[in-house]
Amino acid sequence: MEIQRLNIGTPGIVYSVGWHNHMLLEELIDQHLIVHILSGEMRLIGQDSDQLYRTGDTVLVCKNYLIKCIGVGIEKRQRYESIVFVLDEKLLEDYALKYEIPRSRGGLTSNRGIVLLSSSLALSSLFDSLDAYRKSGKQLSEPMRRHKLEEAILALAEQGHHIFESLFDFPQPGKIDLKAFMLRNYMFNIPISRFASLTGRSVSTFRRDFQQNFGMKASVWLVQKRLSQALQLLREGNRPIDVYLDVGFADISHFSRAFKKDFGYPPSQVRKQINPRPLGN
């Protein structure tokens, strides 16, 4: 599997291309992303959604959101390609100051994650111009790079006031319900430090609070929870190759070893077990 990520005038604008199925990213998105699919399909798995997007779709992925992203070629030998805009906080702060846009800290993005954007002339012209640069092999100058990033922000203004205004919302993370959060997001394969920051805690406070809530270390609980979910999915007829990423394992060999160690047989043998172990909570 070959994946390339080429900067078209760095930072902030990235062209990604790859063959076949590939986990492009699995992490906390800490900056707003605009993703435009040039070819292939992209599966985005969020905290409360699992959606497939296709060639020509443009998606806004909001900051402070846990996500898995898989790029897929539709047909054999077709590659997945996308252009991604990274709208970092410094860029948005500068834009708000330049155009006198009020900056909110009221949590407008807290309940938003993935938004399929409506097609528009502004978005079409933006991505067509970037694709022309990419095909020519010519790098964007710094003034042009900045202009294109601002053009991307302006294009979002046509998507509705709520989407546009949410870009300039810079809430500080607060300490949230750890147990409810982990039960929703255990399948995301991110470091403990990421779980800690997203729940508004230091790593040491997260470990202490986790022990109080679950009665064990986070690393142990995560493996047990992921294996329990994997067992359920395998009993339902899913293949191991389709399960390991969904439940939060980095690779299938690690998943197979952990599964066999815990259950006594490999994932491929689940359907053959006459009296499989009951599922835990």
Q: Which of 63-67, 124-128, 153-157, 231-235 has the lowest mean pLDDT?
A: 63-67
CATH code of 3-166, in short, is 2.60.120.10
Structure tokens at 96: 């708000």
Distance between CA atoms of residues 237 and 233, nearest Å = 7
**178-272, superfamily in CATH?**
Homeodomain-like (1.10.10.60)
| Strand partners for 32 | 87
pLDDT at 77 > cutoff 60: no
Q: Which of 18-32, 159-173, 187-201, 236-250 has the lowest mean pLDDT?
A: 18-32
What integer pLDDT is reported at residue 194 of this predicted model? Answer: 82
Provide the pLDDT confidence category of residue 72 given band limits of 50, 70 and 90. low
162 pLDDT higher than 80: yes
Extents of the domains making up the chain = 3-166, 178-272
Alpha-carbon distance of 231 to 83, in angstroms, equals 37
| Percent above pLDDT 90 for the chain | 30
Q: Which residue has the tokens 């800290």?
A: 105
pLDDT-based confidence at residue 110 (cuts at 50, 70, 90): very low
Whole-structure pTM value: 0.67
If one compares 230 and 11, the residue with the highest pLDDT of the two is 230
Which range among 36-50, 126-140, 166-180, 187-201 shows the weakest confidence by mean pLDDT?
166-180
Predicted pLDDT at 8: 43
Question: Is 70 exceeded by the pLDDT of residue 82?
Answer: yes
Q: Which of 41-45, 84-88, 140-144 has the highest mean pLDDT?
A: 84-88
Residue range 44-72: average pLDDT? 83
- CA-CA distance, 190 to 281, in Å (whole number)? 22
Over range 189-196, report the average pLDDT.
86
Q: What is the mean pLDDT of residues 110-126?
A: 85
Q: What is the structure's pLDDT at 94?
A: 84
Burial of 206 (0-12, 13-18, 19+ CB in 10 A): buried
Banded pLDDT at 1 (limits 50, 70, 90)? very low
Average pLDDT over residues 249-257: 89
